[in-house]
Structure 1
Amino acid sequence: MATFSPIPGYTLGTAFTGLGLVGLFLPKTAYETFGLPLELLPGQQGISPMLYAKGVRDLCFGITYLVLQYKGMNEAVTVLSQTLCLVALGDGLIVWTYGGRKLKVKAFGHWFGILGLGFWSTWRM
């Protein structure tokens, strides 16, 4: 197997870790970044707990990238990248369906991620 630069793995790991931390500590910003309208809990001022689940999800993706890259598991980094293309597809569909007229366009950001990550990870195979 060819030797690949560790930079993309660390970059993706850092990006997903950052997205996860934003979801956990700046949830209103995470809503806007993801592409959904802000959803407050009925009768409360808190944010929907599902956003925190998304923050944990992204944080776990980031840590997984970082650990796999640190361990030199290039094939695992590639497989994780291909798997996350499905996550991006699902995220885009959620935004397209529930983002409303104003935020619907953000679905394309998720789907363009599929192109970049998909081509890059397929090239690594």
Structure 2
Amino acid sequence: MMITTIGYTLSGLIAAGIIVIGARFVLAPRVAAAGYGVPADPDQGAVGAYLSVKGVRDIASGLVVIVLLVAGATHLLGWMLVAATVIPVADAVIVHRSGGPKSISLGIHGATAAVMLVTAALLLLS
């Protein structure tokens, strides 16, 4: 029971975090892009549209986690988090290949992937 509670708590924090990040990409795209590790100018052509797309997808990802939490689908939530770990791993690679700071590629995106895997493991073991 304690493992499930910890897994659910971490899942809720992951959901809230990605929803906030998504909202930031919609509301303050320049700041959000810099925080992601690859600065971008939303006033430059279609860049603003791509940043908005990323924001909406992040918000939707967080909502999927919330739906699975509310449904009490513990193992399904765990497997979803395993699959979704591709996102921060790819983000880390993208930031690294784009010459972004290692503190962001590893410290933010890499750490996010690690927390997601630990959370998934807790849920799958419960």
| TM-score in terms of structure 1 length | 0.82
Matched, 1:54 2:47: no
Structure 1 partner of 2:121: 122
Deviates more, 1:109-118 or 1:53-62: 109-118
Q: Return the alpha-carbon distance in structure 2 between the equivalents of residues 40 and 10 of structure 1.
A: 30
Bigger helix fraction: 2
Aligned to 1:17: 19
Aligned length: 121
State the AA in 1 paired with 2:37. Answer: G
Stretches of 4+ moved more than 6 A in 1? none
Q: CA deviation at 1:20?
A: 1.0
- Amino-acid identity (%): 18
Answer 1 or 2: higher relative contact order, Cα 8 Å, separation at least 6: 2
Query: In 2, Cα distance between the equivalents of 1:3 and 1:60?
Result: 26
The residue aligned with 2:79 is: 79
Quick check: 103-112 or 19-28, which moved more?
Answer: 103-112
Aligned in 2, Cα 1:105/1:58: closer, same or farther, shift over 3 Å? same
Query: Pairwise mapping of residues 74-113 of structure 1 onto structure 2 (< 5 A)?
Result: 74-98=74-98, 100=99, 103-108=101-106, 109-113=108-112
Give the superposition deviation at 1:22: 0.7
Q: TM-score, length-normalised on structure 2?
A: 0.82
SS at 1:38's partner residue?
coil
Structure 2: any 5+ residue segments left out of the alignment? none
2:64 maps to amino acid: T
Question: d(CA) in 2 for partners of 1:72 and 1:30?
Answer: 32
Tell me the distance in 2 between the aligned counterparts of 1:56 and 1:73.
24
